[in-house]
Amino acid sequence: MRIPLQRLTQSRKILNCTKDPQEAEGFLDKIASRTSLDSQEQALTAVNKILEEVKQSGDDALIRLTKQFDGFTPKPLKVNPEEIAQAWNETPKELQDSLFLAKTRIEEFHKNQFPKDFLTKGAHGEQLGRRWDPVNKAGIYIPGGRAAYPSTVLMNAIPALVAGVEEIIMVSPANQTGKLNKTVLAAAHVSGINKIFRIGGAQAIGALSYGTETIPRVDVISGPGNIYVTLAKKSVYGQVGIDSLAGPSEVLIIADNTAKVEQIAADLLAQAEHDPLAASILLTTDESLLTKVNYEIEKQLHNHPRSEICRKSLNDWGLIVICKDLETCAALSNRFAPEHLELLIANPLELASKIKNAGALFLGHWSPEATGDYLAGPNHTLPTSGTARFSSALGVETFMKSTSIINFTEEALIKTSNAIIELANSEGLHSHANSVKLRISRTSSND
């Protein structure tokens, strides 16, 4: 297959930053801010109107809005448990086994995340500690639209189950006939989820946040969605906990001369095929990869079922940068703070120590990002748009909260009373100080 050179040179941005990486920094900053929520005023207005409708009218609003946006009347709102079981029974044996293997690996990994309670003894006999408890109810949002995501069911449901959440409510948009994807239902079945509602969009987030006649109010909502879902999660945060404000997916690959060009191209396309807003970035010290990678991408796009999405993503948000050394690659990556970071280099463990900001690290030539998407074990719900600088993957703690434990003895209060009173007085809080003074004076009078 012959590919025109013009298509290769124009298909995505190429920067040579061997002398000065600043130009690359600007491009990376632009990519990271490609879907800033601050600029979505029109969408936010629409979202807030939808949330208010759901808050005021409950199920009636859900039925009306689903008919308006998704083209069917969701009566009943809840998926029949028999339909969930049937979806599992109709799933091919090979896919059943794959779902079960993924479920097992994800569950085993997340069990290692379970936070531990602790109780320590202070200098004066006081006990201080922290206790972890699961939330009572969790809501998981499973997107529809361009593709079905059974893996997202597993990645959201399993940490909640490991945490000990008693009730998990799943919402997901159905197609125009009112049906959910069978593999999504099969993933729910293998995860033990049987309360599923066929609604999506901002109205589903509203239902989980406020509760309706049919859908219970939850304590935490997790799961990715489109801009309306994300803005709805942002609006309801504070009334309910959320996992994160997820943006479009992104991968950054650092490659040296040991990387195989067909693997680089496949891994870039694996991200690009998600969404026209997905970002696929290559930082490399091997200048010979430039033409090879672009050529290989075009080769793999031939007869690709999602080629239009891939091309839009790569043309708008694809980037190849030539760097003078791997240290420069690491510095640029830390600035971008990618959701997924692949190190396709000779010594990935050595460079990994220099990586400070990344949602997930994939080390070496045998760890494509797809392993993390499906069954490696760590969660695939990761910080995007540079938020890996300060946030982490979804995990067991997302569905738990901690309570501080303070158990002072009489001696402990007496010994620390002067300091407490001084600090309270410095803030002008009379009753704070007095609450200690009363106890100390009563102790002194008993003596």
Extract long-range pairs of 350-357: CB within 8 Å, 24+ residues apart: 351/254, 351/326, 354/327, 354/330, 355/330, 357/333, 357/388, 357/389
Four-point Cα dihedral 15, 371, 233, 250, nearest 10: 10
**Who contacts 22 (Cβ-Cβ below 8 Å, separation ≥6)?**
none
Q: Which helix (H) or strand (E) holds 252?
A: strand 250-255
Nearest CA-CA partner of 223 in 36, 399, 381, 393: 381
User: Which residues face 130 on adjacent strands?
Assistant: 118, 404
Q: Letter for the amino acid at 375?
A: L
Query: Whole-angstrom Cα distance, residue 151 to residue 96?
Result: 13
**Who contacts 86 (Cβ-Cβ below 8 Å, separation ≥6)?**
none
Q: Strand order of the sheet with strand 340-344?
A: 13-16, 318-322, 279-284, 250-255, 340-344, 360-363
Q: Which helix (H) or strand (E) holds 220?
A: strand 220-222
Secondary structure of residue 147 in the 3-state scheme: coil
- Contact between 67 and 200 (Cβ < 8 Å): no
User: Which residues face 340 on adjacent strands?
Assistant: 251, 360
- What is the pairing mode between strands 400-407 and 127-134? antiparallel
What are 370's two structure tokens? 């797809």
Q: Could you say which of 189, 340, 369, 380 is catalytic?
A: 340
- Contact between 54 and 206 (Cβ < 8 Å): yes
Q: Letter for the amino acid at 346?
A: A
- The alpha carbon dihedral of 417, 419, 421, 424 has a sign of negative
Q: Strand order of the sheet with strand 118-121?
A: 118-121, 127-134, 400-407
Residue 339 annotated as catalytic: yes
Residue for token pair 């690659």? 329
- The alpha carbon dihedral of 72, 75, 78, 79 has a sign of negative
Q: Could you say which of 53, 126, 296, 339 is catalytic?
A: 339
Active site amino acids: 339-340
